[in-house]
Structure 1
Amino acid sequence: MTDNSTQSRTVGGGGGVSIGGAPVSYTAILAALVAVMALVPASIVVGGMAGGWPLHDVIHPVVGLLLGPIAGPIASLIGTVIGNVIAPYTNLGPWGVLIGSMCAFTVGMVMYPGRSYWFIPWIITLVAHLVYLYQSLTFGISFPLWLSNVFTVDLGLILIAIPQIRNWAIATIREGVRSWKLYVALYVVFFFGSTAGIQLNWVPAFATNPWPAEVWPALIFIIAVERIAFSAVGALIGFGLLAAIRRSPIAKAKLAGY
């Protein structure tokens, strides 16, 4: 059942200072949340510069859903930069900011109110995917090894491109269904956002600091577990937040996707 009460408490762009239809306060709060979550390492980094993978990777899809495709990426970007300063042990390097920004942008575009803009991040991700393939083959990485590392990206691209799955997920999230269906719908959209973010990061990261072939086999399991598990945790957080927000008097951002 659709929660129509949220429509009357949507924050527009004309009342107070806003960024992309979201109050600056909303953007600041979520940016702070991203920064704080950088203090907690959620995984390991193989062949990288950091000591741990930042936990804020799980929250970027939620940021895109709550703030939309403009304020969402900005909040993720600011939060990641601050997180890199206060928690250098989870700093993923100069290109790490692309993960959260692209993730939030992707979810925001997929869930853009009243529009079907999912194909924009889809095309960006596909182009980055093909560029990454060229980089890998040129560096001497075999196609099977490359595919074993990026199959989660392929899965994300395929799932969101299937109209029945995409339209069902979007409708379920917007209708506010409070059941396992909402969790699954969030997972589908968040998984695409998560894989889009990591793929965009891989291109410049590999161009500036290519990983040797011996590192790639170790990444197969780690990458798969990260994208699957992080999306699952993010969907769980999103499920709880949506339930709480819809019961509260908090006005939603103009371009929010729920």
Structure 2
Amino acid sequence: MPTAVDLFIPCFVDQLFPDTAMNMVKVLEKLGCEVHYNGNQTCCGQPAYNAGYKAESCSVATKFLRDFPSDTGRYIVSPSASCVGMVRNTYAELFENTPEQQQYHSVQRRIFELTEFIVDVLGVGAIEGAQLPGKYTYHDSCSALRECGIREAPRQLLDAVRGLERLEMAETETCCGFGGTFAVKFEAISVAMAEQKVEHALATGADYLISTDTSCLMHLDAYIRREKKPIKTMHVADVLASGW
């Protein structure tokens, strides 16, 4: 029996990086997964929560639980550790002592970021046929590392991509400066943090700056394009889908 999964495609990916979503489907299907997509899904509620609108975020989160009902028993897989972290951790606060608490616990057990799902659930350490010549450095997003405990899975999969060599940069675990509304409210600090991250990446001589989160990559890519820096950002799903 193929492993059945529900896709959760975050707002950023849906609106700005749809190819990353399609590449995730490509990889999951290659691994034999039965992929399902609920077209009614919207947001996990993180933007509202981070902006201080707890009641509004709870409303959105309640819809999320309805969109991914527990009776399917399917895993929920997302190309965003940020959203996965929101569901796993912050929902505990939103649904504490509520009728939805049991349903939240079911979702919490079933939701995974793409690379941790591939490595930790499917037990796969390499995507057959994945190929991308060049050198890469990896950015540990705050959500992946601190909220979800993801560090080795993406590196393991990327290191197995034929032609790709890893060069670890200094302060890889330091924030890129995006932080949602932080980038708007504290623009100068946010840009300075992006500059530092990009300079660390460039110092390695890498061709690619790769991460699990499109939000971080979008922020960094904006700085790279503005300053015309010689490095390209890529989401891990796009790398794993390359070459085949």
TM-score relative to the length of structure 2:
0.28
The structure carrying a bigger helix percent of its residues is 1
- By relative contact order (CA 8 Å, sep 6+), the higher-ranking structure is 1
The structure carrying a bigger strand percent of its residues is 2
TM-score relative to the length of structure 1:
0.27
